[in-house]
Amino acid sequence: MKAVCVYCGSSLGSDPVYLEAAQDLARTLVAREIRVVYGGASVGLMGALADATLEAGGEVVGVMPQQLVDREIAHRGLTELHVVQTMHQRKALMAELSDAFVALPGGIGTLEELIEIFTWEQLGIHSKPLGVINTAGYYDGLAGFLDHAVEQGFQQPAQRAKLVLAADAEDLLARWG
């Protein structure tokens, strides 16, 4: 694995454990010489993830639409920053540049990105590993929903199992193999 796409919040959230999880993921990926691909922002968990990766000597690739660059939230110290025109181009390029996908806590944008890439796997658009860092039970509700979808016949158990919920970065990478 050479690059992992990380979806996460553009805010820090209300609990310091979310920041700690982002920094832990960054250090864990750098220790394995895995580059980070993310949305390119300098704010929130996104910025903290990038900063921690760079501080640990790793590489960070950001992908951001011009509209957000114009708002001055782009991280200016990245290894690479790809500027695209639309959010659709952003997500497609992030997927192309990555060998796996992981979500840290975040809001509706993080959830949308995670669910879209999970859907792409289900449709056979990719076959890359998928996971979430379930910091302080943040994704328990999502896991419950997905399990309910299986119980109700809307998702196959084998497909549900492809989204790995892990306690931390080490746990996730160990479960990916």
- The greatest distance separating any two alpha carbons of the chain, rounded to the nearest whole angstrom, comes to 47
What torsion, rounded to 10 degrees, do the Cα atoms 71, 72, 78, 82 define? Answer: 30
What's the pTM? 0.97
> Averaged over 140-159, what is the pLDDT?
97
Which contiguous run of DSSP H or E holds residue 30? Answer: helix 16-31
> Averaged over 10-37, what is the pLDDT?
98
Give the residue extent of every domain in the chain.
3-172
Q: With a cut of 90, say whether residue 16 has pLDDT above it.
A: yes
Distance of alpha carbon 74 from alpha carbon 135, whole angstroms: 26
Q: What is the CATH number of domain 3-172?
A: 3.40.50.450
Distance of alpha carbon 64 from alpha carbon 57, whole angstroms: 22
Identify the pLDDT of residue 99.
98
Identify the pLDDT of residue 177.
85
pLDDT bucket at 94, cuts 50 / 70 / 90: very high
Q: What angle do CA 53, 54, 57 make, to 5 degrees?
A: 95
| pLDDT digit string, tens, across residues 97-144 | 999 999 999 999 999 999 999 999 999 999 999 999 999 999 999 999
Residue 163: strand, helix, or coil: strand
Q: What is the full DSSP assignment across 34-74?
A: -EEEE--BSSHHHHHHHHHHHHTT--EEEEEEHHHHHTT-B
| pLDDT digit string, tens, across residues 35-92 | 999 999 999 999 999 999 999 999 999 999 999 999 889 999 999 999 999 999 999 9
Name the DSSP class of 112: H
Identify the pLDDT of residue 59.
98
Name the DSSP class of 167: S
